[in-house]
Chains A and B, each alone.
Chain A
């Protein structure tokens, strides 16, 4: 997973910017504050806040053995930064739970450990990640039950891809109700599905749940890209700034990504979530 580094007047501002670039919500990201903003006399800001962020990794699978081996050698052998990679599973929600369980023997949460290796806070041996098929099953059982409760008919499919996205799709006729205005209902469904999986996997899940109905997300993304490309063209031609309406972090990422491939125009964001919007300016 990629780290992005951003700056802002406050840590919060830098974090917001980072979330924009990552295109995820706060709860799906992990942060490292590289530098607090320095406040000068009379509260004038003299230095910017600097944070590093990335999408919180959820897959504990491949690291298990390596980590176990490492731990037996003893902790705190000054592995410092290089540890970051091995320890990168440490901030997932599931690990927090483990951290609490193991609080006594294994030390405290990574955050409070300063620069000692993170791996020691997560005894995973007794908690193998949930099988991919099982995660898919939990998600589809929840969603198909929901579709039935709605009095609708749809076929639910789920798969966990190599990027650890747990894609759950519903196909059928007249499912517009599940999408809602501006994908509101669909996003809510996705949130609920993710939580249902978390609840039932009890912290052993690792897929990032994406719920789609009749491929609407892909279609909408294509439409958004086209819309952004048109707007960008206008910016280049007229030299005017274009301010988009409020968008979710995921949509803002699509905008930034689209603009990133174009010449003569740059994108930025302004406002605070949930009322944050993208602005296109001539480069």
Chain B
């Protein structure tokens, strides 16, 4: 593929995560290039995982929806994973 990093998707994901967690400093986004798409791994501090996932994964799914919309601006398809 290209070296196009999904900048907007990363920024958006990071902004959202930082606004939801107890420890914003513990948030980081890692991009892994997969075949034809990118995987964004969201890392959060211990104990903040619940906040980004939410009840029945509601937050996680909202985060995915919004981040994917941002990725559309980057012209990239992304998967978002939540990593401890």
Report the contact-size class of chain B (Cβ under 8 Å from the partner). Answer: 20 to 34
Taking the nearest CB of chain B, how far is it from the CB of A185, in angstroms? Answer: 5
User: Do B12 and A149 touch (CB < 8 A)?
Assistant: yes
- CB proximity to A under 8 Å, residues B20-76: 20-22, 51, 54-55, 58-59, 61-63, 65-66, 69-70, 72-73
Query: Per-residue 0/1 for A19-42: is the Cβ within 8 Å of any B Cβ (1 yes, 0 no)?
Result: 000000001000000000000000
Residue of chain A at shortest CB distance from B52: A195
Q: Does B5 contact A (CB under 8 A)?
A: no
Task: List the A side residues contacting B14 at CB < 8 Å.
Answer: 149
Question: Does A102 belong to the interface (CB within 8 Å)?
Answer: no
Flag if B54 contacts A150 (CB, 8 Å): no
Nearest A residue to B69, CB-CB: A185
Question: Considering the complex, which residues of chain A in the window 109-151 have a beta carbon less than 8 Å from any beta carbon of chain B?
Answer: 142, 145-146, 149-151
CB of B81 within 8 A of chain A? no
Quick check: B70 and A195 within 8 Å, CB to CB? no
B59 touches A195 (CB 8 A): yes
Q: For residue B7, give the distance in angstroms from its CB to the closest CB of chain A.
A: 8
Interface range, A side = 20 to 34
Q: Which of A180, A184, A191, A200 contacts B58 (CB 8 A)?
A: A191
Partner of A178, one of B21, B58, B62, B69: B69
Measured CA separation A200–B54 after assembly (Å): 16
Query: Do B12 and A146 have beta carbons less than 8 Å apart?
Result: yes
CA distance A177 to B11 in the complex (A): 15
Residues of A within 8 A of B20 (CB): 192, 195-196, 199
**Distance of A213 from chain B, by nearest CB (Å):** 12
B63 contacts which of A149, A177, A192, A200 (Cβ < 8 Å)?
A: A192
**0/1 interface trace, chain A 183-207, chain B, CB 8 Å (1 if under):** 0110111011001100110000000
Chain A residues, Cβ within 8 Å of B12: 146, 149-150
9 contacts between A and B (CB under 8 A): A149-B8, A150-B8, A150-B11, A150-B73, A180-B69, A188-B65, A188-B66, A189-B66, A199-B22
A residues at B contact (CB < 8 Å): 27, 142, 145-146, 149-151, 177-178, 180, 184-185, 187-189, 191-192, 195-196, 199-200
Question: Given known contacts A149-B70, A151-B7, A192-B63, what 8 new A-B pairs fall within 8 Å (CB)?
Answer: A151-B73, A177-B69, A180-B65, A185-B65, A187-B62, A189-B66, A192-B59, A200-B19
The 3 residue pairs across chains A and B that have the minimum distance between CB atoms: A188-B65, A149-B11, A188-B62
